[in-house]
Every structure is written in structure tokens, then in C-alpha cells.
Structure 1
């Protein structure tokens, strides 16, 4: 689910999310009841993947549905109003084997636009939006920065698709986010590494240990990156490629 209101004039407003949430809740319940009528409910799953302002709409819908969805995944969220949900348990989502709601969230470190959507809106709009990747919200937080499993290229901003060489949006082929969403939607969310503060610091340390910038131009910008493991080094053109190599190396050796 994608949300494309104007960032300046419409994103701070909640009316579009409110209107859309009722339509989405109706569609979700209607689908489940149709499957129940055909005795196929156990053979189907309902997974919601929401981006940006769409996470606001979907969260509202999941406080109104009769039937739970199987998973709810958010990427690049513009924030969840605290009067809608303060915790994943406020959302009508099935639980994992651990007893936690199957709610997943990620935000690339390069995605600054999503942060602007999560500002405190009071007193103009009277609402505050929560970051679903915050620990207190209770979601399973996964990486979009090339850290952990599954391996994939780091996301380079807020867009779902960049369609440019060596740039990866959240849903571009081989991006880490797309790889993780595919596993979650396939019922394999337990195979996606959960990112805690300690885990993020660990991978940042690994990147620093194995990746070296190569600077040849007068402007002092990196032209390439050297990646070294066990005395063997190779040169790649982008940091995304370098990060993926480090991530794949540790995935194969742990």
C-alpha cells in the first residue's frame, strides 16, 4: 500500500488516511468473509505492505477490522498517530509463535523524508505520530541498510523505486527491503534478522572493519570502495555493493 499525498500540504493532515482506512477495512473483512464462505480461509493469507503515508491509513484500518490480517509490514513510515495506535497490540494482526503481533517495520538511514512526516503535529492538528521502528511500539524491526539477513542492497532514500543504476529504492529488485518483505509475506518472518541497537552497532563495526573508501579525485569524494576479508581484497564502485559483500560474507560464515 502506497501513500502519495503532497508532502507539504497534505501529509500533515489526517483526513485522507481516515477516509482511506474505512475503505481498506471493508475490503479486508470482505475478502476474509468471502474466503470463509468458500472454506478457503486456511489456504490463504492476508499480508499488508505499506509505505510512507500509507502506513497511517493501514494502521487506522487495522483498528476497525473484524478479522485479523496475517502480517502488517511498514517501510519508510510517515508515522502512526498515537491516538490510532500506541503499540502493535492495538492493531488487529495475528500473533507469531512468540506471541507478538506479526507487525514489521523498517526505515532506511538515508530516508530523511519519512522523518519529516513524523514530526509532532500539535497544536495545529492535535496529533503526534509515532515511529513504528521505535522499540516501545513493539514491531519486529528489520534492516534496509544492508545489515543482517536477508542479504540485499541498502536503500538510498524514501522512494519505492529509483530505476537508476546503483540506486535502490525500498521495492527495487535486490534491495534488502524487498528481500525481507518477500520472506515475511511467505510466512518466514522468523528468518529476517531483528535489528536492535546492539545489532545495528555490530554491523556498523563490521562495515568499518572491512570497507575502505578509495579517494582519487581532488574533491575528496569516494571513487570506489575496497572490501577485504582474510587478507583478500576486491574493489567495487559503490558503497551499496561493498555493504552487500560484507553482509553476504557474514551470512555465509555464521
Structure 2
């Protein structure tokens, strides 16, 4: 693996380890703000020195972005976790300029609609990488994912993100600006500078570092590293994964398959096979 990709993979693995450890300690009554603080403290203790964006946490119907209409409403709130409530932990740490952006879906106790939603997300991981490999335009892929969401009886929730994005380009942050300075309660100063430069550069080439269904995404997949985050909703339940996708001139692959949601799907598939063998 290319050295730079390996460094990004390590940061992604670190972020997912943080999400798993924080998730394991969640209990009824904890707030979104406290969960986000736990993630931030954990990441700083483990070497994170800057942020693409600081950790977010969404509980209950906020996992489906109910009531979220303005950017500041994505920030963690005083919503308290309850038994049977889904949650999403999202973090985008940077270590020595190397960025990752992850989304971890969980539930405190049992919630059958959430279980089905999370299980069905597996097909979207396969669909997205297959469509990128086929060199469909980013806008076409977005539309194809929308069609799959509708067929499955779900709602597209990633369209609620700023820019209606299903993904965005990431890379190494190279800036002389100070690290660990956060603006607007969310994004790192150096990240915003880099995004601004990328927007100008890509626009000159008729592209965008933001992947959505709009005119600027009507081009073949741009080689590079992309944080991809299909986010589905069913009534007041939402679930997502977010991980890094490597795009080359003629191929694509997920940066790492040893991730919590991939392991969850593999375990569920094995359990279904064992159950079928005993019938």
C-alpha cells in the first residue's frame, strides 16, 4: 500500500477504535454533548492533533435528522440517550496532516427497525464501489443510490448534509496555519483553508471536491481519496457508515475492510448460514 494511504488507514482505524470504545461506555442519560466530548478527549489522548471536523453525536430521531434544517443544528445537543434508542457517532480526526472521516451507527439495546436498516446498508457499500469502478459520473451514482433507497422503502438522509453530499474528497492537510483551531464549533481552521483551495482548483477543471447529485458532480470519479457516507432513514430511525474510498484512474476500492460495520455484516451472514444449516 502507498505510504500516504497507509497513514490515512491508520487514522481511520484510530477513529473507529475511538467510536467503538465510546459506544461501549454509553449509558441511559448520557447526552450528545457528553458523547462527543468523550470522543474528542479519547482522540487527543491517542495522538490526534487537528480536526477535519470535531466529533458529533446524534441520538434518537436526530439520527434521521428530524428537525435539522440549519448547519448549526448538526452540533451535539443535550438530547439524552434512552434504552432502545439509535445513535450515530461521527468524527474526522487528523494526525500529522493525515485525515479520516468516519461514521459509526449503534443502538442502546434492541430496536428491530434499526437492526434492519443497518443490515441493509451492506448493499450500498457494494453498490457504490461497483458504480465507481464502472466510471459512471458521480451525479449518476448519487441518483442510482437514491433509486435504491426508494426501492428499499427508506429516505435519503445524506441530502440533509451541507451541500447535499454523499461524499467529499480528503487528503493530507498541508498548511502553516495553527493546528487544533476550530471555527463555528465544528471545522478545523486548516481544513477550511484547504477546502477553499480545493473548491477553486476543482471548479477550474469543471469538478468539485463535494460529491452530490448536482451539476458539478457530472463527471467521472476523480482519482483520490473520498470519504463516503450513505445515510438512510426509516421514520425516526437513521443509520449510516462513513469510510474512505480510494479512486484511481480506472479502479476503486475501500481503503480498509477491517471495520466495525463490515465485521457486523460478516457475523450476521455467518449466523444466517448456521441457522439455515440447522433447518
- Fold equivalence (TM over 0.5): no
Larger Rg: 1
Higher relative contact order (CA 8 A, sep 6+): 2
Q: Which structure dedicates a bigger proportion of its chain to helix?
A: 2
Q: Which structure dedicates a bigger proportion of its chain to strand?
A: 2
